[in-house]
Structures are given as C-alpha cells and as structure tokens.
Structure 1
Amino acid sequence: MLRKLYDWTLSLAARKSAEWWLAFIAFVESSVFLVPADVLFLPMALSRPARAYRYAIVATVASVLGGIAGWFLGHYAYEAIAKPVLEFYGKFDDFEALRVSSGVGFILLMLITSGLAHLPPIKVVTILSGVIGFPLGWFILSAIVARGARFLFLAWLLRTYGEPIREFIEKRLGTLAALAAAALISLYILVRYAF
C-alpha cells in the first residue's frame, strides 16, 4: 500500500496541476499524510529548475498551514480525529511516550528537527504541540524556519547541481539530516541536564 501511495504521489509531478498538488501534499503531510512532500517537490524542481524556489515557497507555506491544522487537531479534536489518525499509522504509542515526557523546550526542538529531517514525523509533532498547548505563535515561527530551510535548501541543491544531486538527496540527505537532528537533540539534552 505504501509503495502505491508513493508512486501515485510521484506521478502527480507530471501533471499541469502539479503545483496545486504540491501544496495539497505538503499541507496534508504536516497533519495526516504519510508520504513527504519531497517526493513531489524533487521531480518538479528538477523538471523546471527555474521554478525550484517558487515550488519551495509553495511547499513551505502549505506545510506550515498544514502544521497549523495539525496543531488545531491536537488541541481541539484529539480524541475524535487525531488519536484515530495516530493509531492508523501505528504512531499512537510513540505519541503517548512523547506526550508524557515533553516540555516546551523539547517540543520546540522536535518542531525544528521534524521540519528539517522528519525526525520524528512532522504530523506527530504538530498534533502533540496542540495537545500540550504549545504556544501557537512559536509553533508557526519554528515551522516557517524549519520547513522553509528544508525546502529552500533542496531548491538550492537542485538548481546548483541538477539531476546528479537527485540520487544523493533521495538516498543520503535524509540520513545526514537525521544525524544533524540527533546532534541537536543531544546538545539540548546536554545543556538541559548537565548544566
């Protein structure tokens, strides 16, 4: 099922309405959808490099708006909507563990790492932010910074290096971003508990 969903998302890049689909996928990825917007963003930016930054801005704005929707789901409709979504994706136990142990500083860190590296998945963090009542203004600001940095960096890579960088992005960028996120988390834990 996941492979079919991935292939379907990738097929949207060839359509005339691809930009609208990118906005839609980026929006729902931040609150309920499993496939990241990168799957659509990468082929679109490669096929029309002159529009890479435009696509990055579309993906960022839609992702932030989707994150706000996830925040509202968590804050106002956790039992009715958010909990079933998390259970459907098998993320409910992870979510509950995060919910019990998360403070405001840790949520901010997770918003940045999930925005940059999908670690943890962005939909989990947006819903969690709403559930614990993380300040919406800080939520929006961190989402703009993290998601904007991710999409604009990908746009820059694709405009600068073109097709040869695609394999690197698809296979290694996630690992590098995850390592950077792990370093941020480690630094946070070190500062919080060592000093």
Structure 2
Amino acid sequence: MSELLHSLEAWIMEFGTIGLFIVSFLESSFFPIPPDVFLLPIAIANPSNAWFLALIVTVGSVLGAILGWWIGKKLGRPILLKFISEEKIQKVEGYFQKYGSMAILVAGFTPIPYKVFTIFSGVTNMKIRVLVFWSIIGRGIRFFLEAALVVTLGAKAMPFIEENFTLITIIGGGILIIAYILYQFVWKKRHK
C-alpha cells in the first residue's frame, strides 16, 4: 500500500493542483485514499499555497460528491437489493431522510467514509442542493482547517495532526453536530 501511495504522490506532484483535484473528486465517490494524504505534504512544501490547495480539494471533493450521488441514484438500489432486503433499505432511507444532512456534514469532516454517504444520498433521492450545501460546509471546514494548521505550524502540522487526530475529529465532529442542531432549530423557528 505504501508503494502505491508513493507512486500516487509522485503522480500528483507531477500534475500539481490538477492531480490533487482529480484525487479529491474521485475520493468522494469511489476512490479509497483520502485527499488529505496528499494535501498536507503538498501544502507543507509550499505553505503560501495552502489556502488555494484547500479550495481546490474542497471543490474537487464536492463535485465528486455529485458523482457519488449520481452513482447512488442510478446503480445504488439494484446493487443494495442483492445484499439486503427492500424493507431494510427503506428503514435506512427513513433515517437518512431525517438525518441525512447531518450525516453528510459529519462524514465530510471526519474520517467516516464520505463516499458511502454521497452514494447513499443518491439512493435516498436527497436533493442535490442539500448534498452540495452540507458537503461544502463539512469538506470546506476539514480542508481549510488543515490549511490553517499548515500556515500556522508549517512542517510541524503533520506530526500535530497525527498526534491529535482523534481529539481533533471528536471535538470538530461534536461542534459540527451542535452547530447543525442549532441551525435546524433556528431554521424551523423562522419558517413556522
């Protein structure tokens, strides 16, 4: 696996931001390696570009989420039916329709496999604008936080993230859930 990562990293370095964009795009729908693996070393190598790189990765990731949504919409249900019953799919759909926005937000920020949620958003017919909105927030916060750490800590950002990854994820995920609940509360109050 490490050999594959090094080959991929060399390819991305050769193609620069276009390679980073492609990996970000593909990871949101089916590619197994998260773009952070490449974003961080590239940003550390050139901290003055960290904000721009975070933007590239966020845009690529959100556009890839749309591909994941399309895959789910066109192929998801028939494939799922080969493994689980329609009744179970409908049960999960009910949960996803109720909590899907929050799931996209949290999966976009945390190491939970984001692609699973983008694909399932298509299976459950989530409105594409809802997917895009919450993906921009979740992915944007994740990648711009990494850029902020690179700008602030420089080469020390990588060891800091590795040492504090669990804590960052738990605190960040918790803050996002609380912010989402507050947003929903205010939204519902205004639209009564």
Scaled by the length of structure 1, the TM-score of the pair is 0.78
Offset, 1:100: 4.9
Q: How do 1:148-163 and structure 2 match up within 5 A?
A: 148-163=140-155
| Unmatched runs of 5 consecutive residues or more in structure 2 | 185-192
Match of 2:156 in 1: 164
Give 1:172 deviation, angstroms. Answer: 2.4
Within 5 A, what are the aligned runs for 1:29-40?
29-40=27-38
Number of corresponding residues? 177
Give ranges in structure 1 of 5+ residues lacking alignment.
88-94
Gap change, CA 1:3 and 1:155, over 3 Å in 2 = same
Distance 1:104 1:50, change over 3 A: same
1:127 aligns with 2:126: no
Instruction: Give the superposition deviation at 1:47.
Output: 0.6
CA drift at 1:102? 2.0
> For the Cα contact (< 8 Å) 2:93–2:124, is it kept in 1?
no
- Decide whether aligned partners of structure 1 residues 109 and 73 sit closer, same or farther in structure 2, where only a CA change above 3 A counts: same
1: CA distance between counterparts of 2:96 and 2:36?
29
Aligned to 1:7: 6
Correspondence for 1:107: 100
Match of 2:188 in 1: none
Q: Is the 8 A contact 2:11 2:19 kept in 1?
A: yes
Structure 2 counterparts to residues 40-119 of structure 1, below 5 A:
40-78=38-76, 99-100=92-93, 102-119=95-112
Quote the Cα distance in structure 1 between the aligned partners of 2:179 and 2:168: 17
Max Rg structure: 2
- Label 1:156 to 1:182 Cα distance change in 2 as closer, same or farther (>3 A): closer
Seq. identity, %: 29
CA RMSD of aligned residues (A): 3.0
Q: Distance between the aligned counterparts of 1:132 and 1:143, measured in 2?
A: 16
Give the equivalent residue in structure 2 for 1:23.
21
Per the alignment, in what secondary structure is the counterpart of residue 29 of structure 2?
Answer: coil
User: How far apart, CA to CA, are the structure 2 residues paired with 1:151 and 1:99?
Assistant: 29
Please report how far the alpha carbon of residue 183 of structure 1 lies from its aligned counterpart in structure 2 after TM superposition.
6.9
1: CA distance between counterparts of 2:13 and 2:156? 20
- SS of equivalent to 1:64: helix
